[in-house]
Every structure is written in structure tokens, then in C-alpha cells.
Amino acid sequence: MALKPTLRNLFIDREFVEKVSFLKNIPIFDGLSNSALGKLTGIMYSKKYPAGELIFEEGKVGKALFIIFDGEVAITKAAGNSEPKIIATHEKGAFFGEMALLEELPRSATAKTTKETTLFLMYKVKFDWFIEKDPRVGLKVIYNIAKVLSGRLRETSEFFAKTV
Amino acid sequence: MSNTRIYKTIGLLLLIGACIWFIYMVKSILMPFILSLVFAYLLSPLVGFFEAKGLKRIVSVLILYSIFLVIFIGTSIVMIPQIFREVSVLSNSIPEYTATIKGSISSFQQKVEAKYPIIKQKGIFDSTIKNAEQFVNSETSKVPEYLAAMVSIFVLIPFITFFFLLEGKAGIDFIFQKIPPRYTETILSLICEIDESLGNFFRGQFIESSCVGALSIIGLLILGIDYAVLIGIVAGLANMIPYLGPFAGTVPALIVGFIEYQNVTVMVKIVIMFSLVQFIDNNLIQPIILSKGVNLHPVTVIFAIMAGAQVAGVIGMFLSVPLVCIIKVTFMIIIHRKDLI
């Protein structure tokens, strides 16, 4: 009976299992199987950022999607000559920069860590390659991104409707 | 520029110079490491396949090695006796072939010298044959040395590749963590793009050469040429060298065909067969595998191959084109992506 967990520990990568179960709860990976998530981890990189570190700057071309595995990130936008305005604060499980997976255009805001943060990075070039290799999973991710963007667009429209 | 910055720049330049000098000094022992690095790079997607199933890296590498061991043993059982048979027949036949070639040259010499006596007076034929004999003798005496070097490389490469596969990811991750955070997105994007282009290039070359090798073996067997397997393997390997490779693969077949049948018809058939293989390669295999993602000018390729041969012999010829590809892809990305500068 005790053999099964021992064998499991011997062969299975616990860090990988932890990563997959974390990704399962990210909206853009909604409905993906463990096997599909396992494949996606192969095109992701993780990096630790110290607190107060710039992740990307407004106006610079975006090339990757970022997922917060741990820590906190503030999204700011330049406001003329005054101090940049914080438009959102993201925590564990949140993601940002998803537009970069669709097209390489200048970033619309700046991202900075407010605590020590670990991020997962998924690059457009790797994701494009992944779509070619596994169109079914790739399409599902794109569909999920479209849903997220549609939700954000709706929120923005409602916000404008209320302010006007 | 401040003094500290000048000292740092000088220090960095000295360090780079020392590294280049060190690499140059140990270049004779670098080959197994470079080849292992290439193999580890080619095999890493397969390790990734097992890792995506949740297996530990060590387990994934061991599974991959076990699969290769089974394939190697299986292939050896089928191919090795044939290769050994061909090598032993070839080595036994060398005196006979030498006599045949000498006879052919001698009759040709007599005919030419009878027609143009000045050639005999100047002793052009005799001195050329003497030089050729000396060259062949000196090269033949080096064969055991070459074989010993090949065996040591073939023992070392799987061993070193194993550790590169096992520790490579951790090493890359270590470097990745050292990249200043604000440049991470840009630098990694550049690396990803280079990786994509080179990965396709290497994998494409491997598949293409295997197909060319297999087709050549089948073609040579149909034509009834001796040492079909050996010549086919050489043709497949040579095909990795652009432009020059296909010719390098055809020449051994032509020599063996000429010695075996002593008529031009067989040689024409061999040339047609290799042309057909190249036609299939260019029009069917290459479009499927899309291996020619990195297009290099023919002059660049020839220069790279010659420079590679000058620096590191045959291995240098194989590695020169991928190296030029790395340089070209890096420059192309930097030039096209103004945001990187």
C-alpha cells in the first residue's frame, strides 16, 4: 500500500504538479486537461522579481503574457506631467499583458512589482509555435483570452455609460 | 567616461580575449562537448514530452536513453552485421581494387604517352602517381588513429549529452534568473526566436538526411552496388553539408560502381539515382519539413564550410552552417526589431 506514494514521489515531479494545479485556476486556461496544461508549462518560464522592479514599460512592444504565481504587481498609466496613476493591482493567480499573445503592439500601461514576485512568462513566439503543434489546445486558450477581453470591454463600456 | 567604467570595459575585453584564447588552446578536445551540446539541444524537446506528463527530469532522460538503447540494439542487430560484412569485404578487396585502378591508369598512361611523347619525357604521369601513392599511404597509416578518436567520441558523446540534458535546464534557468528584470522580456524573446529558427533547422536537417540516406540505400541496392548501406550512410551524413554534400555522397558510389562493373552505364545510372533522390528531397521532403527556414546565400555557405573545415576539419564543416545560422538569425531579429536596440 505504501509502495504507490513512494513510487509516485520517485517518478513524479512535485513542482510540476503544483504548477499544473495552479494554472488550472487561471481563467485563460479554463477547461484544459492536465495533459494540455502540462504541455503549456513547457513553453513557460518562471522568474523572480524583487519588490519595486519594472516588468514592462508603457509604449514598449509587448512580447509576453505574465501570470502572477506569487506576489503583487501594480499596473500604472502615465498621466501627463503628473505622477503615473495606478489603474489596477494584481495578486496571485492574476494575469496581465495577454494582448501580447495576439499581436506585438506597444504596451498600453506600465507594470511594476510592489512585493517580491514570481511570474510565469509565456512568449508570443513560443505560443505561436504551440498553436501550430497543438491547434486544439491553442484555440481553446485563444477562445478563453477572447472571453476575458470581451468581459473587460463590457466592463469598460458600462463604466463609460455610467460616467456619461 | 568615468575611470571605473573604463577599467570595467578593459577588464571585460581582457576576459573575452582570455576566453577566446582558452577555447583556441583547448579546441582539440572541444569537439565531443560541442557535439554533445548539439545532441542535447536536439533531444531536449523529447525530454520535454515526458516532463509534460509530470515525470521528473532524471526519469524523463533515463526513459529517453532506454528508448535509444533499444533502438540502437535493434538497429545494431540488423545493420551492424551488414556494415561489418561490407567493411571486411571492402578491406579484403582493396588490393584487388588497387590493382584494377593501377591497371586502368597504366593503360591510360600508355595511350596518352604514345600520343603525346612530351608527357613521358617530362615524367608527369610518374611523378603524379608517386605523389598520389605517398598521399594514400600516409592517410591509410592514420586510419587506426582516426578510428580510435571516433570510438572515444562515440563513447564520450552519450555520456556528456546525458549530463547536458539533465543539468542543462537548471543551467539555463540560472542564467535566466540573472538577466536584469527590466530586460527579461526583450532578451528572452530574442532567445525564443533564435531557438525556434535553429530548432526547426536542426530537426529539419536530421529528418532530411535520414530520408536521403534511406533512399540512397534503397536506390543502391536496386542498382546492385556493393557497400550500399555504407555509401547510403555516407550520403545521408554528407547531405547535412549544403551544396557540397550531395556531390560528396555521389562520389564514393561512382568509384565503387566503376570498379565493380567497369562501364559507364552503371555510373550514369548512379548519377540518375542520386539526382532522383535529390529531386525527391528538394520537392517532397523539404516542403514537408520546412527545414530551409534559414536561407543563406550559396557563397556564404561555401565560405562557412571552408572556414569550418580549416578550423575544425570534417566536424567543422558540419557545424559551420548552423553557426552562421545563429549569427544570421540574431542579426535579422536585431535589425528587424527596432525595439530591441
At A161 the pLDDT is 85
A103 touches A77 (CB < 8 A) = no
Q: Which amino acid is at B76?
A: S
Q: How many CB atoms lie within 10 A of CB B118?
A: 8
Residue A41 falls within a domain, yes or no?
yes
Averaged confidence pLDDT in chain B: 79
Residue A1 lies in a domain: no
Residue A28 burial (10 A CB sphere; 0-12, 13-18, 19+)? buried
Q: Is the pLDDT of residue B319 over 80?
A: no
| B171 lies within 8 A of chain A by CB | no
Chain B residue nearest residue A111, CA to CA: B182
Give tens-digit pLDDT for A22-46: 999 999 999 899 889 998 998 888 8
Residue A24 within any structural domain of the chain: no
Tens digits of residue pLDDT in B20-47: 888 777 777 777 888 888 888 888 888 9
Q: Would an 8 Å CB–CB cutoff place A49 in contact with chain B?
A: yes
Distance between the two ends of chain A, CA-based, in angstroms?
A: 66
**Structure-block grid coordinates of residue B206:** 536530421
CA distances from A94 to A120, A126, A158, B223 (A): 11, 21, 22, 66
Are the C-beta atoms of A45 and B184 separated by less than 8 Å?
no
Q: pLDDT tens digit string along A44-78?
A: 888 899 999 999 888 888 888 999 999 999 999 88
Question: Bigger pLDDT: B242 or B162?
Answer: B162
Q: Determine the Cα–Cα distance for residues B49 and B33; give it in Å rounded to an integer.
A: 24
CATH of the domain at A132: 2.60.120.10
For residue B147, the model assigns a pLDDT of 65
- From A47, which residue of chain B is nearest by alpha-carbon distance? B177
pLDDT at B341: 45
Q: Which phi and psi (to 5°) does residue A120 adopt? A: -100, 130
B51-60: b (≥16 Cβ within 10 Å) or e: bbbbbbbebb
Cell of A22: 495552479
DSSP B315: H
Q: What are the grid coordinates assigned to B221, written together?
A: 541496392
Q: Which residues of A touch B339 (CB under 8 A)?
A: 60-61
The pLDDT assigned to A85 comes to 87
Note the pLDDT tens digit of each residue in B98-123.
777 777 777 777 777 777 777 777 77
**How far is Cα B307 from Cα B301, in angstroms, rounded to an integer?**
10
A72 near A98, Cβ under 8 Å? Answer: no
Whether residue B258 has pLDDT greater than 90: no
- Cell readout for B161 is 549529452
Confidence check on the interface: ipTM exceeds 0.95, yes or no: no
Average pLDDT over residues B200-216: 84
Share of chain B above pLDDT 70, in %: 87
Number of domains in chain A: 1
Report the length, in residues, of chain B: 341
Residue A8 sits at the chain B interface (C-beta within 8 Å): no
Mean pLDDT taken over chain A: 88
Residue B112 is predicted with a pLDDT of 78
Joined together, the cell numbers standing for residue B136 give 594514400
**Domain hosting residue A39, numbered range:** 34-163
Question: Could you tell me if A143 and A96 are in contact, meaning their C-beta atoms sit under 8 angstroms apart?
Answer: no
The pLDDT of residue B142 is 66
CA distance B311 to B34: 14
- Return the pLDDT at A144: 93
Chain A segment 100-129 residues within 8 A of B by beta carbon are: 121, 123-126, 129
Q: Is B56 on the interface with A (CB under 8 A)?
A: yes
Write the pLDDT tens digit of every residue in B175-195.
888 888 777 777 777 787 777
Q: What is the pLDDT of residue B179?
A: 83
Any CB–CB contact under 8 A between A133 and chain B?
no
User: What pLDDT is recorded for position A67?
Assistant: 94
Distance CA(B109)–CA(B171), nearest Å, equals 63
Look up residue B130 and give its amino acid.
Answer: K
- pLDDT number for residue B295: 66
Residue type present at position A3: L
Of residues B207, B178, B215, B187, the one with CA closest to residue B290: B207
Contacts of A17 in chain B (CB under 8 A): 54
Nearest to A47 by CA among A73, A28, A24: A73
Rounded to 5 degrees, what are φ and ψ at B116? -125, 85
Residue B232, pLDDT above cutoff 70? yes
Quick check: is A10 in a domain? no
Phi (first) and psi of residue A33, to 5 degrees:
-75, 165
What pLDDT is stored for residue B75 in this prediction? 78
The pLDDT of residue A71 = 93
Structural domain includes residue A121:
yes
What percentage of chain A reaches a pLDDT higher than 90? 40
pLDDT greater than 60 at residue A88: yes
**Tell me: the pLDDT tens digits for B117-133?**
777 777 777 777 777 77
Nearest residue in A to B44, CA atom: A42
pLDDT at B141 (0 to 100): 66
B-chain residue closest to A62, CA distance: B185
Does the CB of B178 have a partner CB in chain A at under 8 Å? no
Q: Is B180 on the interface with A (CB under 8 A)?
A: no
Query: So what's the pLDDT on residue A2?
Result: 59
> Using a CB-CB distance cutoff of 8 angstroms, which residues of chain B are in contact with residue A34?
54
Instruction: Summarize the confidence of residues A89-118 as an average pLDDT.
Output: 90
What is the C-alpha radius of gyration for chain B, rounded to an integer number of angstroms?
25
pLDDT band at B253 (very low <50, low <70, confident <90, very high): confident
Q: In whole angstroms, give the CA distance from residue B328 to residue B334.
A: 10
Give tens-digit pLDDT for B47-76. Answer: 988 988 889 999 999 999 999 889 888 877
- Region A102-124: what's the mean pLDDT? 90
Interface membership of A53 toward B (CB under 8 Å): yes
- Segment (H or E) for A111: strand A110-113
Distance CA B198, CA B329 (A): 8
Q: What is the DSSP string of B109-123?
A: HHHHHHH-HHHHHHT
Optimal mutation site among B44, B189, B198, interface A, most CBs of chain A within 10 A: B189
pLDDT for A105 equals 84
Mean pLDDT computed over B72-82? 76
**Does A140 score more than 80 pLDDT?**
yes
Cβ-Cβ contacts under 8 Å between A and B: the total is 71
Asked which of A11-15, B139-143, B301-305 is least confident by mean pLDDT, the reply is: B139-143
B93 pLDDT higher than 80: no
pLDDT score at A120: 92
Burial status of residue A72 (CB atoms within 10 A of its CB: 0-12, 13-18, 19 or more): middle
Check B189 against A129: CB less than 8 A apart.
Answer: no
Grid cell 536585431 — which residue?
B334
pTM above 0.95, yes or no: no
Q: Taking a C-beta distance cutoff of 8 angstroms, is the pair A59, B339 a contact?
A: no
Q: Per the CB < 8 Å rule, is A13 touching B177? A: no
Residue B306 reports pLDDT greater than 80? yes
Q: What is the average per-residue pLDDT within B184-208?
A: 78
Amino acid letter, residue B64: L
Residue A132 is predicted with a pLDDT of 87
Give me B137's grid cell.
599511404
- β-strands A54-56, A64-70: how paired? unpaired
Cα angle value B315/B317/B320 (rounded, 5°): 105
